[in-house]
């Protein structure tokens, strides 16, 4: 009698324990699963980049290579002109981001702080351009760039994508929240618009500046279609296009070398991401909640 | 400005206003010049090109009226392209919404390590599509790939993903979802955090179950977010190029040829400028329709709520 009572009490306790901790255990299990699913392809890439051919062609595969083959990175670097790809990507990304920030700030400043008849209509013209991404007009834009003699050149890669619609929108949203009294006061002190922009508006806009810059950085670094179309010389390829070129050359047998090359492309962005994830997310969600 | 004129504005004021107008134009000039030359003009030029036959080399373009459109819409190959585009966009849309919401609900829970997992889930979104495509091409290797291992845990054999006309499209969709689910998730997460907690407290007092709270508070409160994600997902997925270009090149036998790949192929591989331009116009009209629907619905919501 006493024993059975003990048992039921223990069972009830177990049940209440489960009721108490069960959902939490389930949630942690799900969290682990999600983390695993999203992490494993990246791990797989890193692991394969250190495998020799024998290890790549083993089943079941090894999660961690027994003898990390660092020389894959050297081989990848020599299999295609990756130094040149880096240079091209760095130049086009840096200038592209700079142009985006400059043009975006100037345009947004004009729309918020300068008078112009029917400027709202003009702003609509700007936003409507979001419907015409370069993917849609790649053919006529290619013809324009060819006409300008810009094929296989940095201007050809950079200039057609240098207009800023979404970034301008984000800047404008932010500028609208700035305290107008400060700006008015500075105006009365005799400050010109460029001074206002430099001395007041920009210092008060650092977060949005960083955010728009980072989103532009990610987009330009990863850009594939446009640089693919306007270049055909190997020394003018950017990193993602050069990576696809390497894949074409090596075929899908040299996975170790190809994965090492893939790391060349993604590592810089992953480092930026680890450092600035918060700002990137801030920009994307700002577009969503205010859009 | 009107006020100034009524008072008979001093000449210095008029000059100041005119100077500000000029400054406005100077500030927006670079951006608008670029938009004109590389967004609006090419659209017009493309509309014209779509009415011609041209191999992109010969000096003359033959005007053919609507023949390119007629040819395209009567060709079974193009029907397949439209079907593929619908398949890809539809699957990506449903997947992004469901996966995004599920991930956001999980990552919204107070759990240790959730920030790390948030980072991991979002990271693929910032990576190069070409790089991601290569990693997954290896994962999908039917003999030595990771996918075979995972399927093996469930006792399922691996299809020859990228060589099979049936499995190539699901493979591309899986990769696209893996790369972009984090985006939907963070937007949903922001939406979840904007729902006032009082709503849940009140529902709890009324004795609503977890499911009822989800069904009658969370989902309706998230509907603007869902709408935003749906529109952006459609617009982005219609433009999706790099994953398809690197993983399948539209193949095998057109199985993954979407509108954008068709446009690229006609223009830059087959040099049929007229057909490519017509495909570009179809693409643009799709973007236009989606945007108009969005504007219409957002405006109605602003008016009536």
Which tens digits make up the pLDDT trace of B85-138?
A: 999 999 999 999 999 999 999 999 999 989 999 999 999 999 999 999 999 999
* Interchain CB distance below 8 Å, A139 and B136: no
Q: By 3-state DSSP, what share of chain A in percent is helix, strand and coil, each rounded to 5?
A: 80, 0, 20
Nearest to A110 among B28, B245, B283 (CB): B28
Amino acid B4: pLDDT: 44
Say if CB A60 and CB A187 are below 8 A apart: no
**Is B284 touching A (CB cutoff 8 A)?**
yes
Q: How far is B224 from chain A (nearest CA, A)?
A: 9
Write out pLDDT tens, residues B129-181.
Answer: 999 999 999 999 998 899 999 999 999 988 999 999 999 999 999 999 999 99
Distance from CA of A11 to the nearest CA of B (A): 26
For the segment A132-148, what is each residue's pLDDT rounded down to a tens digit?
A: 999 999 999 999 999 99
What's the average model confidence in pLDDT over B16-26? 91
**pTM score of the predicted model:** 0.91
Chain B neighbors of A244, CB-CB under 8 A: 130, 134, 245-246
The C-alpha atoms of residue A244 and residue A252 are separated, in whole angstroms, by 11
A208 near A100, Cβ under 8 Å?
Answer: no
What per-residue confidence (pLDDT) applies to B3?
44
- Average model confidence (pLDDT) for chain B? 91
Find the CB nearest A136 among B37, B245, B287.
B287
Which of B134, B149, B287 shows the shortest C-beta gap to A262?
B134
User: Does A60 sit behind a cis peptide bond, omega within 30 degrees of 0 on the bond before it?
Assistant: yes
For A214-229, how does the pLDDT look when each residue is reduced to its tens digit (9 = 90+)?
Answer: 999 999 999 999 999 9
Fold of the B82-274 domain: MetI-like fold (1.10.3720)
Contact (CB<8Å) B128/A40:
no
Query: B7 phi and psi, to 5 degrees?
Result: -75, 0
Tell me which chain A residue has its CA closest to the CA of residue B34. Answer: A163
Among B120, B137, B186, whose Cβ lies nearest the Cβ of A38?
Answer: B120
Determine the residue among B41, B42, B105, B147 to mutate to test chain A binding: the one whose Cβ has the most chain A Cβ atoms within 10 Å: B42
Pick the CATH number of A71-290 from 3.10.580.10, 1.10.3720.10, 3.40.50.1100, 1.10.10.10: 1.10.3720.10
Whether B277 and A139 lie within 8 Å, measured CB to CB: yes
Cα–Cα distance list, B93 to A223, B90, B236, B285 (Å): 23, 5, 10, 19
d(CA A42, CA B182): 15
Are residues B46 and A140, on separate chains, in Cβ contact within 8 Å? yes
The pLDDT assigned to A291 comes to 43
């Amino acid at each position: 009698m006493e024993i059975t009572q003990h048992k039921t009490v223990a069972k009830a306790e177990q049940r209440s324990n489960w009721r108490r901790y069960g959902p939490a255990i389930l949630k942690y299990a799900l969290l682990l699963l999600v983390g695993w699913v999203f992490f494993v392809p990246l791990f797989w890439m890193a692991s394969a980049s250190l495998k020799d051919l024998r290890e790549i062609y083993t089943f079941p595969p090894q999660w961690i290579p027994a003898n990390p083959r660092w020389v894959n990175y050297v081989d990848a670097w020599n299999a295609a002109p990756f130094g040149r790809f880096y240079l091209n990507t760095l130049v086009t990304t840096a200038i592209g981001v700079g142009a985006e920030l400059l043009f975006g700030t100037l345009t947004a400043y004009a729309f918020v702080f300068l008078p112009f008849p029917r400027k709202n209509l003009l702003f609509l013209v700007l936003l409507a351009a979001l419907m015409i991404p370069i993917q849609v007009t790649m053919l006529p834009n290619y013809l324009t760039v060819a006409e300008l003699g810009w094929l296989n050149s940095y201007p050809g890669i950079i200039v057609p994508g240098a207009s800023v619609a979404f970034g301008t929108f984000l800047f404008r949203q932010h500028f609208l929240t700035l305290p107008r009294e400060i700006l008015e006061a500075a105006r009365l002190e005799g400050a010109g618009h460029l001074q206002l922009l430099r001395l007041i508006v920009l210092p008060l806009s650092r977060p949005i500046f960083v955010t728009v810059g980072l989103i532009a950085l990610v987009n330009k670094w990863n850009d594939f279609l446009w640089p693919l179309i306007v270049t055909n010389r190997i020394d003018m390829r950017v990193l993602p296009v050069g990576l696809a070129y390497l894949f074409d050359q090596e075929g899908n047998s040299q996975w170790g070398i190809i994965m090492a090359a893939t790391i060349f492309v993604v590592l810089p962005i992953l480092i930026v991401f680890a450092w600035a994830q918060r700002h990137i997310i801030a920009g994307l969600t700002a577009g969503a909640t205010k859009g | 400005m009107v006020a100034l004129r009524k008072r008979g504005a001093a000449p210095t004021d008029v000059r100041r206003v005119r100077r500000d107008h000029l400054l406005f134009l100077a500030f927006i000039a670079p951006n608008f010049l670029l938009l004109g030359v590389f967004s609006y003009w090419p659209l017009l030029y493309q509309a014209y090109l779509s009415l011609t036959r041209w191999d992109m080399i010969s000096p003359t373009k033959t005007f053919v009226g609507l023949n390119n459109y007629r040819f395209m819409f009567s060709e079974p190959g193009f029907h397949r392209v439209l079907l593929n585009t619908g398949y890809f966009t539809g699957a990506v849309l449903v997947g992004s919404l469901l996966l995004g919401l599920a991930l956001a609900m999980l990552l919204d829970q107070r759990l240790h390590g959730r920030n790390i997992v948030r980072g991991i889930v979002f990271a693929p979104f910032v990576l190069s599509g070409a790089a991601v495509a290569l990693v997954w091409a290896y994962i999908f290797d039917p003999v030595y790939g990771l996918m075979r291992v995972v399927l093996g845990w469930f006792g399922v054999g691996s299809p020859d993903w990228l060589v099979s006309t049936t499995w190539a499209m699901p493979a591309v969709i899986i990769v696209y979802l893996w790369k972009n689910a984090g985006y939907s998730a963070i937007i949903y997460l922001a939406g979840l955090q904007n729902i006032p907690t009082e709503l849940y407290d009140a529902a709890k007092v009324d004795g609503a179950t977890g499911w009822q709270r989800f069904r009658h508070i969370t989902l309706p409160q998230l509907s603007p977010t869902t709408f935003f994600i749906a529109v952006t997902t459609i617009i982005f997925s219609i433009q999706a190029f790099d994953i398809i270009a690197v993983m399948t090149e539209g193949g095998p036998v057109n199985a993954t040829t979407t509108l954008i790949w068709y446009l690229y192929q006609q223009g830059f591989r087959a040099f049929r400028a007229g057909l490519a331009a017509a495909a570009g116009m179809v693409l643009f009209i799709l973007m236009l329709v989606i945007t108009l629907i969005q504007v219409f619905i957002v405006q109605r919501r602003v008016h009536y709520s």
